[in-house]
Amino acid sequence: MNNSRAISTLVVDDHPVVRMGITFALTAYDDISVVAQASRGEDALRLCAAHRPDVVLLDMVLPGMDGCEITRVIRARFPRTQVLILTCFAEPHRVADALRAGAVGYLVKDVSAADLAQAIRRASRGESTLHHAAAQALIERENLGLPPAEDLTDRQREVLALIVKGHSNEEIAGLLHIGTSTVRFHVSALLSKLGAANRTEAAVLAVRYHLVS
Domain ranges of the chain: 7-140, 154-208
d(CA 186, CA 188): 5
pLDDT in tens, 96-133: 788 888 999 999 998 999 999 999 999 999 888 887 77
> What is the rounded radius of gyration, in angstroms, for the C-alpha atoms of the chain?
17
Q: Does domain 7-140 have CATH number 1.20.1050.10?
A: no
pTM, to two decimals: 0.67
pLDDT digits (tens, 9 = 90+) for 24-78: 999 999 999 999 999 999 999 999 999 999 999 999 988 888 899 999 999 999 9
CATH number of the structural domain 154-208: 1.10.10.10
**Residue 128 DSSP symbol:** -
Cα–Cα distance measured from residue 133 to residue 197, given in angstroms and rounded to the nearest whole number: 19
